[in-house]
Structure 1
Amino acid sequence: MSEEGQLPYKSSSVNNELCLEGQFCDAIIKVEDVEFPVHRIILCNCTPYFRALFTHCSDPDKQVFNIPGLSSEMMALIINFAYTGSVSITGENVVELLMAADQFNAMDIVKLCSDFLGEQLCPENCVGIWQFTKVRLGLMTSDYLKDNVLSSELVEANSECLSMISNAILDIHDLGSRPFMSALYHPLARPRLPHSILLAIGGWSGGEPTNGIEAYDCRANRWVNVTNNLECPRAYHGAAFLNGYVYSVGGFDGVEHFNSVRRFDLTTHAWNEVAPMHSRRCYVSVTVLNGFIYALGGHDGHVRLSSAERYQPEINQWSLIAPMHEQRSHASCTTLNNRIYICGGLNGNECLQTAEYYNPESNQWTMISPMNSRRSGIGVIAYADHVFAVGGFDGNNYLRTAEAYNPHTNTWNLVFSMLTPRSNFGIEVIDDRLFVVGGFNGFTTTSDVEYYTALTNEWYEACDMDIFRTDLSCCVMSGLSNLTEYTFPRDFLPLEDVLKLAMESAEST
């Protein structure tokens, strides 16, 4: 079933004809190698995203704008809506379109998609829609609950549902009579918990390694200290989240280069040792692919390593894989499209500009195009279908620059630079944002955090960690039954954060 979403205003057919004919277009939107000639002023009128994209561009003569993170089909629908005020919504595209429109802040399309979902709501799909939208009773109106929910045959026939909705209506009336701040702390309306948590583990702080662990609550923009003081300090290690456990791989404690691997139980907060690696690995690169933890390169206390190995948790065993083409410590790696990419690092003589990928099916490493800059102490992460290489040290300077690798074209392209230079930092993607955490900025160890969004191609400040540290490692964990132990208490959120989160919650319902 499909529906033509139409706004109640008359759009310009002339503008649409000019766009289709490619006349007087002053920009090209490029998505997945598909080019859309457009008029900037028309797109600016559709959503503030395009206004920010065009007006904040560092190059005033730029004509082609690459937009990662969505399909060309969704971009075609959004651009068509900008010109015609209408969009074709189907059961097959509504979820993807709603998510794309929300990212672009195209609220008119968001409303049309939400209305479409509401009209299609039925017993067969209500659970799926509930999982997609995380509907909050406390943020709905009592009139809606009375007119649309209480009158439902399914609710009327179920005493538990009937009681829940009746109580919700009473609570909504109660919330309306309270001061605004007090109302937001009510369980029915308080800001949501995040789906995932970013962990910052260990590192070098105050001239020595630390055992500090902080959890970042992206919905509250706050860090929570979850340190287990029974764990030994460790820096220059790697971290990975797999099967509900956090693994700390290799590293250095100021005296010993480790081949040991420690596993953190997120439920009991206990650390246990698992099988050691074949080699001692400090400044190691670590990632997860297809249920294995990979440890690549590093320094064993004597030489930089090209060797690599992987851990299978089911049998608690490390196995050697093919060695890399380069000796690499201070590098960083990530996974994209069933490949492991490792970039930069130090070979003992120079900071590296090279990069390569590993194919687990053939057990082979393949060199790819070199980066634009040499980068040791680099951060590498898969984001928006690209491999991002961020920051680091080029042998002379600590870098703010970042670049993204397109595996389809084997090319690197510069993206917007970070707010501050840094090397030997943590890097992860959470909530569709690329975060960089801590590190060394050329003068001092830092606790500051910033994040990048592909849609705006800009970096923004986030809440600082409590611990100043470099040579830390980060991972993202999800699916926890005890999630609240790693989140910031909602009752203690400052005023400005509560207001911001309340607005975000209201917009997402």
Structure 2
Amino acid sequence: HASEVTLRDVCPQVISRLIDFAYTSRITVGEKCVLHVLLTAMRYQMEEVAKACCDFLTKNLEPSNVIGILRFAEEIGCTELHLRAREYINTHFNEVTKEEEFFSLSHCQLLELISQDSLKVLCESEVYKACIDWVRWDAESRAQYFHALLNAVHIYALPPTFLKRQLQSCPILSKANSCKDFLSKIFQDMALRKPLPPPPHRGTQLIYIAGGYKQHSLDCLEAFDPRKNVWIKLADMESPCSGLGACVLFGLLYTVGGRNLSLQNNTESGSLSCYNPMTNE
């Protein structure tokens, strides 16, 4: 038997932490060491240490670092961290696309990302703009992938006015005739009010209940998730109301009118309110 075992490609400080954990069942990780500790814990199948590192990284996910952490998790085979990073990107897609890491994605990685129906965006125009910005980052080499990206965008969910502006002024489209022809045909169908295929839904589909009913005016706003069969309490409205009108436009919930009925008061409302499900405000 060898009197010594040589561990290659491992930081001595990380091994020291893992040995301490083996004797104490306690470990402390921070921003400077967590990736090294997680990598080594995965290599030596120390599941509790790996979970502690995943929990730390999950709590510190930000739009500026989540893509890098997603890649790292994929490289080392950490499925739990990969899933959490993916969920964060889906929920904070618009913020993530503003960060430099986003523009380092390959076209295959971006295509995989925008193809997910779990992506949470207020309007499909956010997905379209993200693709435009990604192509513009290096237009000479990325323009060839634009048509493939457009096929993953829910084009029929784009507002016609937005699509018209893109056809008129988008510099990427002006140099991509096939893409422009593709979008022009869809815009013509919209303008002529031809039957359009229903676009797939992105994110969680909820049923909203706003205010009260008849003589029972309430200031509550709730949503029902039919997939999970649960009610979700949302931010309260500014004032109690019942009998109001409501609609959803570009991912925002608008309520209008109604009346405030109570023992002390009975008034009609002329207010217009807007609820943003991304910020719960």
- Name the structure with the higher strand share: 1
Identify the structure with the greater helix proportion.
Answer: 2
Q: Normalised by the size of structure 2, how large is the TM-score?
A: 0.44
Q: Does 1 or 2 have the higher relative contact order (CA < 8 Å, sep 6+)?
A: 1
TM-score (norm 1): 0.27
